[in-house]
Structure 1
Amino acid sequence: MAKPGTWFTGETLVFLRNLAENNNRDWFAANRHRDEVYVRQSALRFNMDFVPRPHRISRHFIEDPRPVGGSLSRIHRDTRFSHDKWPFKAHAGNRVPHERNCDVYVPVFYIHVEPGGTFVGVGMWLPDAPMLKTIRDAIVENPTAWRSARDDRAFTAKFELGSAMLARSLRGCDPVHPRIDAFQRENFAAWHGFDGNTLTRDRRLDAFTDAR
């Protein structure tokens, strides 16, 4: 069992790997305690230690321990409209959200834990059309700030900015605007990958936050 004060361990990855191999309700019911100890409790402890770091940017980022709708994403998949009918996610999604995360599209800090695919993410993932317009208007108003953030050497050395683009800009955007690359972005999020050793052995928060 994970000791108080520890975050994710090798058992976290073992559980998620086992879940991928036994993705059914009977197996999960028999191993639910492992999810609670090695995923949920570890993720919430990580967030409690991590939250002071985003506060350097804004005091509005919070740790939300609610079992539903909080910082930790549900492990159950919504299979209603998916061809993939596996009932559970074989990864853990853990975020430090803005306090208004239930009301509007807002930035988040996110850690994705998955054997062979762990990463941290920052920014806005797939904001809706009104929020996209708000972001574009801000870029038009202050293009220097956008370029400075996008091209910052410390940022680009560790983070990869999402490359997903809309097929065309939203109505009202000039198709030959010099910043059309920003206007056609589908998201304003970036990520940085980690290996298993960093995830399970390195307890220095700087390993996760130096590239902020």
Structure 2
Amino acid sequence: MTSNFQGFPKDFLRFYAELIENNNREWFNANKQRYKDVVVYPMCDFIEAMAPRLEAIAPMFIADPRPNGGSMFRIYRDVRFSRDPKPYKEHAACQFRHQAGRDAHAPGYYVHLALDGVRFGGGIYLPPAPVLAKIRHAIDERGKEWKGIKADPDFRATFHEGIRGDGLKRAPKNFSIDHPEIEDLRRKTLFVMKPLDDINRITRPDFVDEVEDAFHKATPFMRFLTNAVELPF
């Protein structure tokens, strides 16, 4: 497959190293064009390169390369209810959401790029209570399938930490604390992530191949979540 993506530029990493030291509007405004050149446009190229690959893996999920309103998350932080006054996110990220989802609470594939770690995979983030209830009931009713996904050798080799996500301290309503899948039933977020052992690999053209492979390995998990919330995969 051909695309404009040739890896993220090395200045991508330098930009975020400097942003961490200068997370203020004055510095960012002085480096805004640089941000577009080394972060936004390369991310758009990456998303565009992922589009046909994602369509082959999960055709109901969208890779939108637009710099605004597409798959890429904005750099601006919402500080209205935060104790952290920093105005800018110190990482870049994109999410390929299900076409039925209008926000980050729908199932999606995800890529996170930061100096303290690069990771990619998929899941669902803090779904509303009725949606989460559907996922819990699917895990309960289709326990054999759920266990099979987690036990698959390719899945385990790719996602060493398994299924993750913050959860309740107690069993959710209508489920026993002794349920064999209680750890996952208590989760309020469910995701799998593959960490990259060397962040400099994002500067290589084949980074897109690594992400594609992880998305492929995450697909049985993503299919389960998507079908559980009554959406087509």
Q: Which moved further from structure 2: 127-136 or 63-72?
A: 63-72
Q: What TM-score do the two structures reach when normalised by structure 2?
A: 0.82
Counterpart residue number, 1:185: 187
Query: Residues 83, 103 of structure 1: CA spacing in aligned structure 2 closer, same or farther, 3 A cutoff?
Result: closer
TM, length-normalised to structure 1: 0.89
Aligned-partner SS, 2:38: helix
2:48 maps to amino acid: M
Q: Which structure has the highest helix share of the two?
A: 2
- Percentage identity across paired residues of the two chains: 37
SS in 2 for 1:59: coil
| Aligned residue number for residue 150 of structure 1 | 150
State the alpha-carbon separation in 1 of the partners of residues 184 and 207 from structure 2: 34
Compared with structure 1, are the counterparts of its residues 105 and 81 closer, same or farther at alpha carbon in structure 2 (3 Å cutoff)? closer
In the aligned structure 2, how far is the partner of 1:111 from the partner of 1:103?
A: 16
- CA distance, structure 2, for counterparts of residue 58 and residue 190 of structure 1: 16
Aligned CA-pair RMSD: 2.1
Deviation at 1:33, TM superposition (A): 0.8
**Partners of 1:48 and 1:171 in 2: how far apart?**
43
Tell me the residue number matched to 1:102.
Answer: 102
Cα separation, 1, equivalents of 2:127 and 2:91: 23
Gaps of 5+ in 2: 218-233
Deviations 1:38-93 (A, max 9, x none): 11111111111112223233211112244444211110111111111011011101
Q: Give the Cα separation in 2 of the matches to 1:76 and 1:104.
A: 16
Question: Is the 1:117–1:193 contact (alpha carbons within 8 Å) kept by the matching residues of 2?
Answer: yes
Q: Do the aligned residues in 1 keep the contact of 2:72 with 2:93 (CA within 8 Å)?
A: yes
Contact 2:106–2:124, Cα closer than 8 Å, also in 1: yes
Segments ≥4 residues shifted beyond 3 Å: 65-69
Gaps of 5+ in 1: none
- Which stretch of structure 1 is more off in the superposition, 44-53 or 11-20? 44-53
Amino acid across the alignment from 1:40 = V
Structure 1 residue matching 2:211: 3-state secondary structure = helix
Residues in 2 aligned to 1:4 and 1:70: alpha-carbon distance in whole angstroms: 18
Secondary structure of 2:52's aligned partner: coil
1:198 to 2:206 alignment: no
- Name the SS for the 1:182 alignment partner: helix
Q: Aligned runs of 1:123-142 on 2, under 5 Å?
A: 123-142=123-142
Partners of 2:46 and 2:99 in 1: how far apart? 18
Q: What's the secondary structure of 2:20's corresponding residue?
A: helix
C-alpha spacing 1:104/1:67, structure 2 compared with 1 (3 Å): closer
Q: 2:69 & 2:84 partners in 1: Cα distance? A: 23
Q: Contact 1:24–1:88 (CA<8 Å) still a contact in 2?
A: yes
Where 1:53 maps in the other structure, the secondary structure is: helix
